[in-house]
Chain A
Amino acid sequence: SQQGEEDPQALSIQEGENATMNCSYKTSINNLQWYRQNSGRGLVHLILIRSNEREKHSGRLRVTLDTSKKSSSLLITASRAADTASYFCAEMDSSYKLIFGSGTRLLVRP
């Protein structure tokens, strides 16, 4: 399978704590994108990081990219109950299709 792997598969934290999700990918990427999905509904685009970038911020989100290790991480700071969702990383390959990982299910307890 071409799919990357995400770690952990599931994460349960208390509201206010930080959540870190890791992603490994397999191809030489054009970019890597992170998405959120609530209860099997549509995917919400969170952030895109290009292959020549190492870190990117958006609000409470911080994404890092290490192309030498073919890995990326998503940090959500000061988590809220509304952050409960599944999070996916997706590598965009040279043909511009997205290859998704298996996702991390995040539960933020109030």
Chain B
Amino acid sequence: DAGVTQSPTHLIKTRGQQVTLRCSPISGHKSVSWYQQVLGQGPQFIFQYYEKEERGRGNFPDRFSARQFPNYSSELNVNALLLGDSALYLCASSLGQGGDEQFFGPGTRLTVL
């Protein structure tokens, strides 16, 4: 079975631009979570979606938004990019909303110049 997939692998943007990152969960998983990992730190929670509804939001500005589609894939959008948004963006999928293992994709490396 395929694991969590993310696209693109790498992305370079300039300040003020907008970016869309994509994630496909493991088949049968209904929950997708997004995390931001800045170099040298642990991942920070951004959003959780379950059954197409937002179920949790971390301490990130409104420039960050996300959605989940009927096939349970998800997109993370970041508007008005700042240099500080440069990070590895990780998507994780889990079976349900509850206390299950979360399985991570390879991440999208975003560089903002």
Interface residues of A (CB under 8 A from B): 3, 30-31, 33, 35, 40-45, 48, 50, 88, 90, 92, 95-103
Contacts and interface: CB of A to CB of B under 8 A. Distances in A.
27 contacts: A30-B99, A31-B99, A33-B102, A42-B4, A42-B105, A42-B106, A42-B107, A48-B101, A50-B99, A90-B43, A92-B99, A95-B56, A96-B55, A96-B97, A97-B33, A97-B45, A97-B48, A97-B56, A98-B33, A98-B92, A98-B102, A99-B45, A100-B35, A100-B42, A101-B42, A102-B41, A103-B42
B106 A96 contact: no
Interface residues of B, number: 28
A105 to B, nearest CB: 10
Given A3-B42, A100-B43, A102-B42, A35 B88 contact: no
Given A95-B56, A97-B56, 4 more contacts: A40-B37, A90-B43, A97-B33, A102-B41
